[in-house]
Structure 1
Amino acid sequence: MSTININTATKEELMGIRDIGEARANLSIKARKIKGTLTLKDLKMIEGVPNTIWDPLIRKGTVEVISEEETQEKQPTAQDDTSAIIEQYKTKLLIAEQDKVHPKREYMKEIEDVKVTFEKQLRCKSAEIEECLAELQQTKEKFQREMEKDQLEKEKKSKRVKY
């Protein structure tokens, strides 16, 4: 994988990085829109993205950032402040939405695990029932043979008695 510049990468390029999904890519792009040029320090301060994710990516050369010395200080304007507040609000909404989805995924996984467990138990019980049914069928057939045998003996005795 080639090195991706965090300050020019598209959403798709960011999503191509291990551990960076759509939500984290969106958060990184929003932070870049707010800040202009991101530094490693800026990356580590993105709310909703673990700050420990970036160091290994930079160390491996997967991601590069412009150093703080190369970053030009940008004087914020009232419009920038408003945009920043709106972007922060959107970021917090996105994080809240992710927090809501995560427990749902865990709950669905637990349900699937319980389903798998019950299906295994059901297969085992079904096998036991099949064995019991087979034994009952054998017992029934044996009992019918004995009944037929007894019936034949009774018939033979009754024929002997008649002669």
Structure 2
Amino acid sequence: MAMNINTATYDDLLLLENIGKSRANAILQERSKKKILSIQDLKLIPDIPENVWDNLVDTGKINFEPEEGSLKFNHEMQEYVRSLQENLRDKDKQLQSFNAAIEEQGQEFKTQMTGIEAQHQKNIAEIHMQFEEKLVNMQNQFKDNMEKEKVFREEREHHWNKREKELVQKHELELKINQMAPSGIYGKDPTLSEISVPSKTALLKHQTIPIKEEIKENKVPTVTKNQTTEDRYVKSSIEGPLTPKMSTFDGKADWRPYFAQFCHIVQTL
């Protein structure tokens, strides 16, 4: 009966021709590595010539059939290995798909971030532009307001200067009028209401003195009995024409017509 080289024990191997202890141990070590040996595996074992195995095979002393349990185990192992390989392939596919999804999401995220950054920069530029425009508008508005304020001040100053000049002229005119035609004579002077009665009398006396002196100076001399007509003519020609007679102011009517008449008479003198 042929010996199954894959199931033979150490003692069984010693029974084979040209197989000693060292060669039996080498066969067992090789079988423990590869689980199942073939003729090619046996010929690769060191220190055992190939013709030893050829003779054993030719004489039918050994064979390489694995036992049934070993075949079943090998089949299960192969199925298990195949299953592991399939699982690894599936896991690899899943990993590749996951990596692709991550890369795609990363690309989308990068695109979104690029868009967000661009929009952010655009918004900042718009805000900066709006701020610059608003600042320029505020500066222009402030400049316009300052110009308007300057013009307004100049106009107001011109107006007040003009008003002040008019008031000064009016005051000077009133002073001249009061000097030429005192209101105490030709009308009611508001300032007299604040003066006592003796002061009013003194003021009237003071105002009438220049007029009396002026009338006295311009008084036409009367003709005496000793003067001839020629003397009267010559003296009258030298002294000028007679002074026109002025209407008498009654103190009740408007004094301005009398004042105008007085000014006319003064100019004719």
TM-score (norm 2): 0.33
Per the normalisation by structure 1, the TM-score is 0.50
Higher relative contact order (CA 8 A, sep 6+): 1
